[in-house]
């Protein structure tokens, strides 16, 4: 378990990299399909610059928050399973019937 804890930073960077690649591919595919469709009256919406701005304002922040929450949860679970004290001292050694 301590090896995993030591390498958590590297594994987190790999997750961030996979997240960025997946989000970029998703953005490119959905934007390309939207821009290929006939216009729906909003000509300004059928430009790459508007779609990038829309993505950065409405989609990117919630996705980053979700990734941060996922990484924080993984880090807390790793500390909990490793027996270290987490917030409030809720390590596994403090649970009833642990180790019996």
- pLDDT score of 92: 52
Cα 19–chain centre separation: 6
- Asked whether residue 49 is domain-assigned, the answer is yes
Output the pLDDT for position 79. Answer: 83
In a domain, 96, yes or no: no
98 inside domain: no
State which residues form the domain around 74: 2-35+45-83
Q: What is the pLDDT of residue 20?
A: 97
Q: Report pLDDT digits (tens) over 9-43.
A: 899 999 999 999 999 999 999 999 999 999 888 89
Question: pLDDT band for position 85 (50/70/90)?
Answer: low
Q: Average per-residue pLDDT in the chain?
A: 85
In a domain, 52, yes or no: yes
Count of structural domains, the chain: 1
Task: Answer yes or no: is 91 within a domain.
Answer: no
Q: Quick one: DSSP state of residue 96?
A: T
User: Read out DSSP for 46-67?
Assistant: GSHHHHHHHIIIIIHHHHHHHH
């Amino acid at each position: 378990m301590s090896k995993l804890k030591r390498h958590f930073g590297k594994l987190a960077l790999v997750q961030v990299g996979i997240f960025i690649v997946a989000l970029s591919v998703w953005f490119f595919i959905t934007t390309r399909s939207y821009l290929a469709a006939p216009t729906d009256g909003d000509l300004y919406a059928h430009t790459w610059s508007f779609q990038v701005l829309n993505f950065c304002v409405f989609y990117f922040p919630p996705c980053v928050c979700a990734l941060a929450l996922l990484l924080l949860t993984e880090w807390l679970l790793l500390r909990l399973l490793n027996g270290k004290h987490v917030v409030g001292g809720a390590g596994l050694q403090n649970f009833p019937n642990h180790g019996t």
